[in-house]
Each structure stands twice: as C-alpha cells, then as structure tokens.
C-alpha cells in the first residue's frame, strides 16, 4: 500500500515535471502572440519603426523589472500595456499571470524573430 502510494506520487511528480518543461517551451510562442496581437496590431505597430526602441535590442539591456515597469506604467509615448496584454485570448485561455505574460514576451524577444 505504502509502495503503491509512493509510486503514484512519483508518477504524479514526473507528470508535473513534463508539463513544466512543456510550458517553458511554450513561453516564447505565447510571447510571440502577445507581441503580434497586443493593441490589435501588435507592439510592432510602433516598435518596428526605427524611431522607436527596437524591443529585441531593449530586452538585452533592460532588467526584467524595468521592462515590466514600462508595460505597467507606460513611459512618454509608450502606452500602458498590461491591461491589453491580459485581455488577449491566448493569455486568458492559458490562464497566464501578469508575470508569466511578461516572461513569455521576454522569452520571445530574447529568442529573436
Ligand atoms: C503606440 C505606440 C506603441 C505601442 C503600440 C507599443 N509601444 Fe512600447 N514604446 C513606444 C515608445 C514611443 C517608446 C519609447 C518611450 C520613451 O521614449 O520613453 C516605447 C518604449 C517601450 C519600452 C522601453 C524600451 C527601452 O529600450 O527603454 C518597452 C519595454 C516597450 N515599449 C514595450 C512594448 C511592448 C511589449 C508593446 C506591446 C505589448 C509595446 N511596447 C507597444 C511606443 C509603443
């Protein structure tokens, strides 16, 4: 009986680890959707223009907290973005938290286009 429970536990733990690994893989894909869909036409609407910061470069220089801070608070002509991000269908259906959505975006941007 004890052994069976132990075995069940081991199976559960390895199952969770598998799901965890799959989610880590999926992060950048979720981030790409956020990048392409936020504000209707995506972050690139503004950030693909040479006059605005290139986020694929920004992400190499900014801390995670600074990056999130700009999304939450906006900055100069950068609109607040957290609300639109959290309203995206893929973010909702995956049940991502704000931090997970930010991490997904960063994972995509670090990977590059
Ligand atoms: C309406 C145009 C617009 C949209 C849409 C937009 N941004 Fe921005 N963003 C800007 C501008 C302009 C700046 C530069 C702000 C400044 O000069 O302080 C900026 C700055 C930033 C910065 C700081 C970059 C740095 O190097 O300091 C981050 C991070 C950022 N935006 C993320 C995003 C993300 C992620 C999205 C999509 C969810 C997004 N932005 C959508 C206009 C936009």
Evaluate whether residue 48 is within a structural domain.
yes
Tell me, in angstroms, the distance from the centre of ligand 1 to residue 81's CA. Answer: 9
Which residues have C-beta within 8 Å of that of residue 27, sequence separation ≥ 6? 100, 103, 104, 107, 108
SS3 78: strand
Evaluate whether residue 43 is within a structural domain.
yes
Please report the pLDDT score of residue 2 as a whole number: 61
Evaluate whether residue 15 is within a structural domain.
no
**Ligand 1 in reach of 39 Cβ (< 6 A):** yes
Please report the pLDDT score of residue 27 as a whole number: 86
**Ligand 1 in reach of 75 Cβ (< 6 A):** yes
Evaluate whether residue 102 is within a structural domain.
yes
Evaluate whether residue 12 is within a structural domain.
no
Domain residues for the domain of 38 are 27-111
Evaluate whether residue 31 is within a structural domain.
yes
> Under a CB-based contact definition with an 8 Å cutoff, are residues 67 and 58 in contact?
yes
pLDDT digits (tens, 9 = 90+) for 13-45: 555 454 454 444 448 999 999 999 999 999 999
> Under a CB-based contact definition with an 8 Å cutoff, are residues 109 and 56 in contact?
yes
pTM: 0.83
Phi, psi of 78 (to 5 degrees): -85, 115
Count: domains in the chain: 1
Evaluate whether residue 10 is within a structural domain.
no
Atom of ligand 1 nearest to the CA of 85: 38
Question: Residue 53 is part of a domain; what is its CATH number?
Answer: 1.10.760
Evaluate whether residue 44 is within a structural domain.
yes
**Ligand 1 in reach of 78 Cβ (< 6 A):** yes
pLDDT digits (tens, 9 = 90+) for 42-83: 999 999 999 999 999 999 999 999 999 999 999 999 999 999
């Amino acid at each position: 009986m004890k052994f069976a429970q132990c075995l069940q536990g081991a199976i559960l733990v390895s199952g969770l680890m598998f799901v965890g690994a799959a989610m880590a893989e999926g992060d950048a894909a979720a981030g790409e959707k956020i990048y392409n869909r936020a504000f209707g036409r995506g972050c690139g609407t503004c950030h693909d223009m040479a006059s605005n910061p290139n986020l694929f470069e920004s992400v190499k220089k900014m801390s995670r907290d600074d990056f999130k801070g700009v999304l939450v608070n906006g900055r100069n002509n950068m609109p607040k973005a957290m609300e639109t991000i959290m309203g995206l269908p893929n973010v909702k259906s995956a049940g991502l938290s704000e931090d997970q959505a930010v991490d997904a975006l960063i994972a995509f941007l670090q990977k590059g286009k």
